[in-house]
Amino acid sequence: MEFSNEHFLKLKEKKKIAMRNAQYLYALSSEYMNIKKQYTDSFYRRAERILNCLSYWEWDRYKINKVLNLRKVSRCKDVFCPNCRSVNVYKAIINFTPAFNEMMAYRYNPYLMTLTVPNIKREDLSSEIDKMNKAFIKFWRWLYKPFSKNGSYYGGYKERLFDSKGAIKVLEVTLQRSDWNYFNIHFHVIVFLENEFPGDFFKKIDGGYQYRTKSFIYYSDADIFIQKLWKMAYDKKDISFFSEASDDWQDNYVCDIRELSMPKGIYEVFKYCFKDLDIRNQEIFRDLCDFPPTMYHF
């Protein structure tokens, strides 16, 4: 990899964000001084590591060719360090590539799926993430498992539109722009399908006007199917009540499934679990510290 001046300028700009986040960690360290000593020490050490990130560079110098070859660089590896987070994203993509290629070799088709829930108060972040993860277990069982095994019910939904063969999901948390007291949380999922019908993914159902994108949106039959399943799983309902679930997108949570575009789609899933722009103050930073935003689920 060649390192240009532009690359180092980007590192410098991200370092400024990292230093801000380190100050937030120092503040949390002081805040927990009289509550939990282990938290105080942990936050303090993290802040120190972030401040010292990229402070040591080791190069091999080749005078004749006028080339510097990077051998080692110090990294804090903290999720609140934008520079380290960028490296972690690319490492996650590299680690995912063999599994992706194996699925493609089996001729399973990759799709990008987004699952959302209504915006929640910031202080409810941890409990809401736990609820979503539990809902996804049920949701995935309906899409993945056979309907029956050895003559007995085995957990899958018999009338599903397609068979799912594997997936990876990533959590994303964003700040509600109109009210900083709320988070929007959702899953991005790369899912590999089999026996799907292309016509089910044609977006023909009017979904109304979206003010955020300033455009009309449309849903497919596959979108509505996913919306119904996800809403039922989130509401802890049994799959036997599927026929009673509403076909109206307005009664369900916004979900989308479409063919995965390469390579943009993969990066879209892995790129971040939160935005540095959303960390507007100490309180928001504290709420984001309450959950582990680095976990990818295979």
For residues 160 and 232, state if they share a domain. yes
Which of 29, 53, 78 is at the close of a domain?
78
**HSE-up of residue 6 (Cα within 13 Å, Cβ side):** 1
For residues 240 and 128, state if they share a domain. yes
What letter does residue 197 receive in the DSSP assignment? -
**HSE-up of residue 257 (Cα within 13 Å, Cβ side):** 28
| Model pLDDT, residue 3 | 58
For residues 140 and 175, state if they share a domain. yes
State yes or no: pLDDT of 165 exceeds 50: yes
| Six token digits for residue 241 | 């009540």
Q: In the structure, what pLDDT confidence band is assigned to residue 4 with cuts at 50, 70 and 90?
A: low
**Average pLDDT value for residue range 182-203:** 96
Max intra-chain CA distance, the chain? 75
State yes or no: pLDDT of 211 exceeds 80: no
The SS3 assignment for 230 reads helix
Contact predicate 185/132, CB 8 Å: yes
For residues 115 and 46, state if they share a domain. no
For residues 134 and 164, state if they share a domain. yes
Kindly report, residue by residue over 116-144, the tens digit of the pLDDT: 999 999 999 999 999 999 999 999 999 99
State the residue for tokens 């935003």: 293
Which of 78, 112, 137 is at the close of a domain?
78
For residues 35 and 122, state if they share a domain. no
For residues 106 and 19, state if they share a domain. no
**Average pLDDT value for residue range 25-42:** 84
State the residue for tokens 């999922």: 189
State the residue for tokens 């590999």: 192
Helix (H) or strand (E) holding 39: helix 37-51
Dihedral sign, Cα of residue 150, residue 151, residue 153, residue 156: positive
Mean per-residue pLDDT over the chain, rounded? 89
For residues 154 and 260, state if they share a domain. yes
Q: How many residues does the chain have?
A: 298
For residues 23 and 110, state if they share a domain. no
What is the C-alpha to C-alpha distance for residues 132 and 154, in angstroms, rounded to an integer?
22
For residues 140 and 118, state if they share a domain. yes
- How many structural domains compose the chain? 2
**Containing structural domain, residue 8:** 1-78
What is the C-alpha to C-alpha distance for residues 219 and 237, in angstroms, rounded to an integer?
23
Kindly report, residue by residue over 94-118, the tens digit of the pLDDT: 999 999 999 999 999 999 999 999 9
What is the C-alpha to C-alpha distance for residues 74 and 53, in angstroms, rounded to an integer?
6
Does 290 or 193 have the greater pLDDT score?
A: 193
For residues 33 and 130, state if they share a domain. no
What is the C-alpha to C-alpha distance for residues 271 and 70, in angstroms, rounded to an integer?
25
Which of 78, 113, 134 is at the close of a domain?
78
For residues 72 and 121, state if they share a domain. no
